């Protein structure tokens, strides 16, 4: 499996102001790219991720055991400076206090999902036939299939339109409701074909027609916007004065939450914004990592 390429890596290290002995929380550690680079600069990291499989990949990348107090081992140089915890970042403050990561130098959020999560049985990809699940944390109660088979038509329309900015939201919802009255929609490819059927009547799309519907469902299943709203104030709480908050988002709804949170906190005298406009990847980065295309980074410092 190809290593997940960390997005805006140089910029993350710059805005977090990473240096030897400093302490950071990587709230979305899965993939391990940013965590690895922070550790290479001799800093300490508490890595959190809700997806046990994603943390396993971090563990392998860094060759550490999860939540163990490692013994000295020269072949595993990062082992003393990283702790990995499987948890939703909505519990950030609780995890930080349990692991002794308070008054720290920085907190990073690199939102969304990692590239390998498309291939790891979550049902996130429309091009692989899998159960329509989409939960990044397997203990969450509601799957994408539950939503697709139970939400009323107008709520499906609203979901696809608001989270996916899907122009054919209404027609797609109608097609789903018609189909599920005969048989439940249970797999990724079944859902993708229902979207394709609508787009046959409305051609001219550049990306795969199911992209936005899949994104909207993933965001709803994992309550992504609500989680972010809950976690940002906790991140500010665990920072020391001068500590940095860095957030990379991939969706306009996420970016709006981050922007408004930072502006309000600046007005209240809690944060100083370091990025007047969001920082976006340069063309060279996008060429090597197309996933980076929609990334926006915002950073602030605790006052």
Residues near ligand SAM (CB under 6 A) are 4, 6, 28, 30-34, 48-51, 54, 88-89, 110, 112-114, 136, 227
Q: Is 6 helix (H, G, I), strand (E, B) or coil?
A: coil
Of the pair 194, 261, the CB lying nearest ligand SAM is at 261
CB of 279 to ligand SAM, least distance (A): 16
CB of 180 to ligand SAM, least distance (A): 28
CB of 186 to ligand SAM, least distance (A): 23
Taking the C-alpha atoms of residue 288 and residue 66, their distance in angstroms, rounded to an integer, is 31
Please report, for residues 38, 45, 85, 224, 236, the alpha-carbon distance to residue 219 in angstroms, rounded to integers and kept in the order given: 28, 27, 22, 5, 24
Please report, for residues 133, 177, 184, 221, 276, the alpha-carbon distance to residue 181 in angstroms, rounded to integers and kept in the order given: 20, 6, 7, 22, 50
* Tokens matching residue 29: 């550690």
Return the half-sphere exposure (C-beta side, CA atoms, 13 A cut-off) of residue 205.
Answer: 17
Of the pair 272, 291, the CB lying nearest ligand SAM is at 291
CB of 92 to ligand SAM, least distance (A): 9
Of the pair 90, 149, the CB lying nearest ligand SAM is at 90
Of the pair 114, 169, the CB lying nearest ligand SAM is at 114
Of the pair 32, 164, the CB lying nearest ligand SAM is at 32
Q: DSSP labels for 218-257? A: HHHHTTHHHHHHHHHHHHHHHEEEEEEEEEEESSHHHHHH
277 burial via Cβ count (<10 Å: 0-12, 13-18, 19+): exposed
CB of 272 to ligand SAM, least distance (A): 24
Percent helix, strand, coil in the chain, to 5, is: 45, 15, 40
Of the pair 17, 26, the CB lying nearest ligand SAM is at 26
CB of 227 to ligand SAM, least distance (A): 4
Q: Which residue has the CB atom at the shortest distance from ligand SAM?
A: 30
């Amino acid at each position: 499996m190809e290593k997940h390429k960390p997005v805006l890596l140089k910029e993350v290290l710059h805005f977090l102001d990473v240096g030897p002995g400093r302490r950071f929380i990587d709230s979305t550690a899965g993939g391990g790219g940013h965590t690895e680079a922070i550790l290479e600069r001799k800093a300490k990291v508490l890595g959190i991720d809700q997806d046990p499989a994603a943390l396993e990949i971090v563990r392998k990348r860094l060759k550490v055991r999860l939540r163990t107090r490692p013994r000295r081992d020269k072949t595993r140089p990062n082992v003393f400076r990283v702790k990995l915890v499987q948890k939703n970042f909505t519990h950030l403050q609780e995890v930080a206090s349990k692991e002794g990561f308070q008054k720290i130098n920085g907190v990073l959020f690199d939102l969304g999902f990692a590239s390998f999560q498309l291939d790891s049985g979550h049902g996130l990809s429309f091009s692989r036939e899998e159960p329509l699940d989409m939960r990044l944390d397997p203990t969450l109660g509601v799957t994408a299939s539950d939503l697709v088979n139970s939400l009323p038509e107008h709520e499906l329309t609203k979901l696809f339109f608001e989270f996916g900015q899907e122009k054919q939201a209404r027609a797609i919802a109608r097609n789903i409701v018609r189909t599920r009255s005969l048989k439940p929609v249970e797999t990724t490819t079944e859902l993708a074909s229902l979207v394709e059927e609508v787009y046959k009547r409305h051609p001219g799309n550049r990306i795969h027609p199911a992209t936005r519907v899949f994104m909207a469902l993933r965001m709803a299943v994992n309550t992504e916007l609500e989680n972010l709203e809950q976690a940002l104030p906790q991140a500010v709480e665990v920072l020391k004065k001068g500590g940095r908050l860095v957030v990379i988002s991939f969706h306009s709804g996420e970016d709006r939450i981050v922007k408004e949170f930072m502006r309000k906190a600046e007005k209240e005298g809690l944060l100083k914004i370091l990025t007047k406009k969001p920082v976006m990847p340069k063309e060279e980065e996008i060429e090597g990592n197309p996933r980076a295309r929609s990334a926006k980074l915002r950073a602030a410092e605790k006052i």
